[in-house]
Structure 1
């Protein structure tokens, strides 16, 4: 049946199955007082093939916020160059929100595709607080790679221990690409498919 085949094919290839990968680097983990320093986005299809990659956006944050970061953030963001890049940036959260909305609108319909990433609930909290229109554009569900990892550690530890090591660069685009590769690994060894 040609009609049935086309329906099956269109569902399999539907942009509704795309994933919206985001990573944020912040001045800390308290979304009520800390702020976003860096954000990037990658759209993949349901097979985790990259469809499009956004620009890497570094947001200006004031010195009082940067100097008030906890020890981990001070050390890490200094070593990666993010603190200095944030100081020098002229971008605001509202400008970056607008740019990322335009990026998403080119590739996915509103409220159709979930946010994906590692411990991505934290990123979502910051989006809700500082980029609410961007957060509203996303589907309410999330795909959290750290959940898959934690379940694998409990239920199939041999696969967990053979997972590729993380580079821990703590820069937005690098971290997204690493999360995609991590989910590809778990997909290959933890999930079977008849397609």
Structure 2
């Protein structure tokens, strides 16, 4: 009986879709019973219980059904005494972790490494608030008919309070000098060399930022850049949870969908568009706009953030702008209790 029951659970575990689990589980529980099924372990070195497998698959509704049927959601796997909540946190499954908390699992249980889930869960919740600041330099503008290709990409990840957690910058190869010289006038003015004497001398009165020369010298493929970006995001962010941010960042997002679909898929659907705030200042708060421009110019003159169409610098400028907006525009009103205090 145990052997046939084990085969039935193995077949269940092999099902790829949560709906299939939800359909198959009730009859399995009715025929075998909770106690018998709870004795099952998978064949991996960890000897997972069913609740652990469901957690790794991010099947939150399955866990809810198991709980209703009396399965122990606090059961610890044999290899390292990790609970389902340990695994949900480790694999960055925020929805499943939240459900397990809601179902009342014991967050104080420790695994073999002496780790409980109390602080780990809070850290996961914090990580979901992180912001992915991204900028791309492209072969064509957003409104040009030709599909844009990525010349350079950069990411800075911050926490919700704009403290930097990590950064990366990728200059992408695969472009010949002739291809670069055939790009539009904006690109020639912006991306040629700063000084004459190289393969891409600057246009008159338009010292470039040197990107063309770095592209020709780069060994980084677009695929390698995408992998590097994913590694950085996975280190600091929960998949599908963290928004992308930057100036006119919806344009970058649409390019990612075609050029770097794995990066695109990692992101939350929300965006934080810094240019929306500057656009609102132009329309509603001209004095604030003037003050921001003065502060940005002073910061650049002092060697701080500067917007110069190099991806990492443009991100630094976006973050600096958002700090200004937060301090000068997004000001919390006094607490209700303070408003009601007697004068």
* TM-score scaled by length of structure 1: 0.88
Structure 2 equivalent of residue 189 of structure 1 = 328
1:44 and 2:158 are equivalent in the alignment: yes
| Structure 1 equivalent of residue 251 of structure 2 | 122
Secondary structure, aligned partner of 1:123: helix
**Counterpart in 2 of 1:60?**
173
Greater RCO, 1 or 2 (C-alpha within 8 Å, sep 6+): 1
Partner of 2:135: 23
| Distance in 2, Cα, partners of 1:67 & 1:45 | 39
1:58 and 1:85 in contact (8 A); partners too: yes
Task: Report the structure number with the largest CA radius of gyration.
Answer: 2
Tell me if the contact between 2:140 and 2:146 (Cα under 8 Å) persists in the aligned partners: no
* Higher strand content, 1 or 2: 1
1:1-195 matches, cutoff 5 A = 10=122, 14-29=126-141, 30=144, 32-54=146-168, 56-63=169-176, 64-78=178-192, 79-163=208-292, 164-165=296-297, 167-193=306-332
- Which consecutive unaligned segments of at least 5 residues does structure 1 have? 1-5
Deviation track 1:78-120 (CA, whole Å, cap 9, x = no partner) reads 1111011111112111111011101111110111000000011
- Counterparts of 1:45 and 1:76, CA distance in 2: 31
Q: What is the aligned residue count?
A: 188
Aligned to 1:3: none
* Runs of 4+ with deviation above 4 angstroms: none
Find the aligned partners of 2:281 and 2:148 in 1 and give their Cα distance: 32
Shift in alpha-carbon separation, 1:51–1:31, aligned structure 2, 3 A: farther
**In 1: Cα distance, 2:249 partner to 2:145 partner:** 13
| 8 Å CA contact retained: 1:31, 1:126 | no
SS where residue 162 of structure 1 aligns?
Answer: helix
* Higher alpha-carbon deviation: 26-35 or 127-136: 26-35
CA distance in 1, matches of 2:145, 2:156: 23
Cα distance per residue 1:157-176 (max 9 Å; x no partner): 11111112373321111111
Q: Deviations over 1:20-68 (max 9, x none)?
A: 00111112224853311111111111111111112x1100132253122
Measured in 1, the distance between the counterparts of 2:187 and 2:271 equals 25
1:171-190: CA deviations, max 9, x gaps? 11111111100010011111
Is the contact between residue 117 and residue 179 of structure 1 (CA under 8 Å) also seen in structure 2?
A: yes
| Mapped contact 2:172–2:221 kept (Cα < 8 A) | yes
Structure 2 distance, partners of 1:84, 1:33, is: 23
- When normalised by structure 2's length, the TM-score is 0.51
